[in-house]
């Protein structure tokens, strides 16, 4: 049997070992990045303005799982509904739903809520509604950090996103566009995912230190030789949307998401994803594809700004694919990615590898990536390349990537002096990631039953390989994820107002 120990590429970016050493190696901010401080206080780039109390266009419904009633009409704080799914089903176009603190798991605690069926927006078009969490139980106060409104399943088994939102018009519709807002929710699958039970003495469990809550994440088809905790049986998104019109997702926390934090299909209109925390998501933190006819792509745009994106994990424990913080996808004419913090993403912070179906459409695409902070990502930017799988681009050289632009300035490694942000990250989790290694072992037994039969029929001999990472998508403490709001002025998620 042979063994090979591989240090993860991220360690090459920072001095091996401690978090303190990592902080010392973060480079000073370039003058160009200072422009991001100004952009956070004006226009649609104002991250904090997204959290203001909504002005209702239609009816307003109130939902409180602890003080509401299953049979109430939900039209006042004193007659609040108990079930968020009932409020969604009752609401009509342009209605607003205000949700008090608590854990909302849908009808009869099935584990998810939905407006329209997942994967069937053509027939289940949903509706244009706005949903705001973060209220006290009497609705006298809104504070999304203090009054946590979450979707956090435990022992439920389901094959649906934690929240699915469809909002599409019939084909050929020419009337006014609608609005969808999802604001102030915590999406956490950490109590539902399958993990190895934490055990630092057993390498197979992928437990990097005693402070991390669990051992490594287990893929749905994995059969590990170690004790297991959790119930998941498939891949589920946290927030999935198939929408058009004016869309905003803001002031949310996406943590321990086993199949994307946000995955969306966007028709004609504009989507804004701002002031969110993404921590320990698998596959990718955010992926939005255009979903319209080629001639309408020019009417589709996306703005991803003032988000904090940490510890995005690859699809499998072998670290072969996926693991992106943000992905530039096709079918969207203009994408702006700015004033975010991307850190410790196991594949790359940002990916730009997809090309439109023809040269004219590709030439018209606007892929702006500017004024972002990066630290300890395996790659800051991944771009496609002729004759090679891809090219890794560090933050300091993003201006050289022709796929990016016309805005490309201000991408830098996080400067020193941001100890408040680094200290807000769960220390055992960060230390585990910074010392991440992968153990690979191969074995070949010529006398195994399989190889004896293969020789009889002239087939190839078979060996086996075991890959054991010291850490892979372990559970992050969801309560600490919200501590990341407001730690770096003008970059990442700001304090919700």
Condensed to tens digits (0 to 9), the pLDDT of residues 206-217 reads: 999 999 999 999
CA distances to 16, 180, 225, 260, 274 from 215, rounded to whole Å, are: 22, 38, 13, 20, 31
281: in domain: yes
Phi first, then psi: give them for residue 57, nearest 5 degrees: -95, -35
Put the strands of the sheet holding 341-343 in their side by side order. 102-103, 149-151, 186-188, 253-255, 277-279, 308-310, 341-343, 373-375, 412-413
321: in domain: yes
Q: Is the pLDDT of residue 452 over 80?
A: no
User: Average pLDDT, stretch 256-285?
Assistant: 97
Verify that 305 and 399 share a domain, yes or no.
yes
Q: Is the pLDDT of residue 11 over 70?
A: no
DSSP single-letter state for residue 21: H
187: in domain: yes
Q: Is the pLDDT of residue 9 over 60?
A: no
Q: Is the pLDDT of residue 67 over 90?
A: yes
145: in domain: yes
Which two structure tokens, joined as six digits, stand for 317? Answer: 């424990």
Q: What angle do CA 305, 307, 313 make, to 5 degrees?
A: 125
Verify that 463 and 480 share a domain, yes or no.
no
Verify that 139 and 231 share a domain, yes or no.
yes
- What is the structure's pLDDT at 12? 35
Single out the residue of 433, 411, 407 nearest to residue 422, CA to CA: 433
Distance of CA 128 to the CA centre of its chain: 23
Verify that 413 and 445 share a domain, yes or no.
no
**pLDDT interval class at 8 (50, 70, 90):** very low
First to last CA, the chain: 58
Lowest mean pLDDT among 160-164, 288-292, 435-439: 435-439
Verify that 305 and 444 share a domain, yes or no.
no
CA distance 341 to 347: 15
CA distance 394 to 120: 40
Q: List pLDDT tens digits, range 167-204.
A: 999 887 888 889 999 999 999 999 999 999 999 999 99
Sign of CA dihedral 455, 460, 461, 462: negative
Q: Is the pLDDT of residue 23 over 90?
A: no
User: Average pLDDT, stretch 323-335?
Assistant: 98
Quote the pTM value: 0.87
User: Average pLDDT, stretch 366-381?
Assistant: 98
- What is the structure's pLDDT at 34? 33
User: Average pLDDT, stretch 357-366?
Assistant: 94
**pLDDT interval class at 64 (50, 70, 90):** very high
245: in domain: yes
Q: What angle do CA 301, 305, 309 make, to 5 degrees?
A: 120
User: Average pLDDT, stretch 380-397?
Assistant: 91
Q: Is the pLDDT of residue 312 over 60?
A: yes
CA distance 371 to 32: 8
**Cβ atoms < 10 Å from Cβ of 222:** 13
User: Average pLDDT, stretch 420-424?
Assistant: 97
- What is the structure's pLDDT at 36? 33
Q: Is the pLDDT of residue 409 over 50?
A: yes
**Cβ atoms < 10 Å from Cβ of 329:** 21
Averaged pLDDT score across all residues of the chain: 87
Q: List pLDDT tens digits, range 332-346.
A: 999 999 999 999 999
- What is the structure's pLDDT at 121? 85
Verify that 279 and 147 share a domain, yes or no.
yes
Q: Is the pLDDT of residue 125 over 80?
A: yes
Which two structure tokens, joined as six digits, stand for 262? Answer: 């946000």
Verify that 400 and 464 share a domain, yes or no.
no
User: Average pLDDT, stretch 89-101?
Assistant: 97
Verify that 56 and 155 share a domain, yes or no.
yes
Single out the residue of 52, 120, 125 nearest to residue 93, CA to CA: 125
389: Cβ contacts below 8 Å, ≥ 6 apart: none
**pLDDT interval class at 35 (50, 70, 90):** very low
Q: Is the pLDDT of residue 444 over 90?
A: no
490: in domain: no
Verify that 427 and 449 share a domain, yes or no.
no
Q: Is the pLDDT of residue 313 over 50?
A: yes
CA distance 378 to 425: 18
- What is the structure's pLDDT at 215? 97
7: in domain: no
Q: Is the pLDDT of residue 26 over 90?
A: no
Q: Is the pLDDT of residue 25 over 90?
A: no
Please give the tally of structural domains in the chain. Answer: 2
Lowest mean pLDDT among 16-25, 60-69, 233-242, 399-408: 16-25
22: in domain: no
Verify that 56 and 181 share a domain, yes or no.
yes
Residue 447's domain spans which residues? Answer: 437-469
Verify that 361 and 464 share a domain, yes or no.
no
Verify that 264 and 193 share a domain, yes or no.
yes
């Amino acid at each position: 049997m042979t063994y090979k120990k591989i240090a993860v590429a991220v360690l090459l970016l920072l001095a091996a070992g401690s978090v303190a050493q990592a902080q010392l190696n973060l480079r000073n901010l370039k003058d160009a990045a200072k422009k991001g401080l100004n952009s956070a206080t004006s226009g649609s780039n104002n991250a904090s303005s997204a959290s203001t109390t909504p002005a209702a266009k239609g009816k307003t419904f109130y939902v409180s799982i602890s003080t509401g009633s299953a049979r109430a009409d939900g039209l006042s704080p004193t007659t609040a509904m108990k079930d968020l799914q009932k409020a969604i089903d009752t609401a009509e176009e342009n209605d607003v739903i205000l949700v008090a603190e608590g854990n909302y798991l849908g009808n009869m605690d099935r584990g998810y809520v939905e407006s329209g069926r997942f994967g069937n927006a053509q027939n289940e078009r949903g509706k244009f509604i706005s949903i705001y969490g973060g209220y006290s139980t009497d609705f006298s106060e809104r504070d999304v950090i203090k009054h946590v409104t979450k979707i956090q399943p435990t022992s439920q088994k389901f094959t649906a996103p934690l929240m699915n939102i469809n909002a599409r018009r019939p084909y050929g519709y020419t009337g006014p566009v609608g609005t969808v807002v999802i604001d102030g929710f915590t999406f956490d699958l950490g109590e539902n995912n399958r993990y190895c039970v934490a055990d630092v003495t057993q390498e197979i469990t992928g437990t990097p230190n005693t402070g991390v809550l669990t051992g490594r994440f287990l893929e749905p088809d994995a059969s590990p030789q170690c004790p297991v905790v959790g119930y998941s049986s498939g891949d589920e998104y946290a927030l999935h949307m198939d929408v058009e019109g004016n869309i905003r997702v803001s002031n949310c926390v996406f943590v321990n998401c086993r199949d994307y934090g946000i995955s969306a299909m966007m028709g004609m209109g504009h989507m804004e994803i701002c002031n969110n925390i993404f921590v320990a998501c698998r596959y990718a933190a955010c992926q939005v594809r255009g979903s319209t006819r080629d001639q309408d792509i020019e009417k589709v745009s996306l703005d991803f700004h003032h988000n904090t994106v940490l510890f995005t994990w690859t699809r499998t424990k072998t670290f072969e694919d996926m693991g992106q913080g943000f992905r530039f996808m096709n079918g969207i004419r203009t994408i702006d990615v700015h004033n975010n913090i991307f850190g410790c993403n196991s594949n790359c912070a940002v990916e730009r590898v997809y090309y439109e179906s023809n040269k004219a459409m590709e030439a018209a695409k606007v892929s702006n990536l500017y004024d972002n902070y990066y630290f300890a990502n395996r790659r800051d930017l991944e771009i496609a390349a002729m004759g090679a799988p891809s090219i890794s681009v560090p933050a300091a050289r993003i201006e050289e990537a022709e796929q990016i632009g016309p805005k490309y300035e201000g991408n830098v490694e996080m400067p020193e002096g941001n100890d408040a942000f680094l200290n807000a990250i769960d220390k055992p989790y960060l230390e585990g990631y910074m010392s991440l290694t992968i153990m690979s072992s191969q074995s070949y037994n010529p006398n195994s039953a399989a190889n004896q039969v293969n020789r009889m029929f002239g087939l190839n001999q078979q060996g086996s390989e075991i890959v054991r990472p010291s850490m892979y998508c372990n559970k992050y403490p969801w309560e600490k994820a919200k501590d990341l709001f407001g730690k770096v002025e003008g970059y990442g998620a700001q304090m919700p107002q």
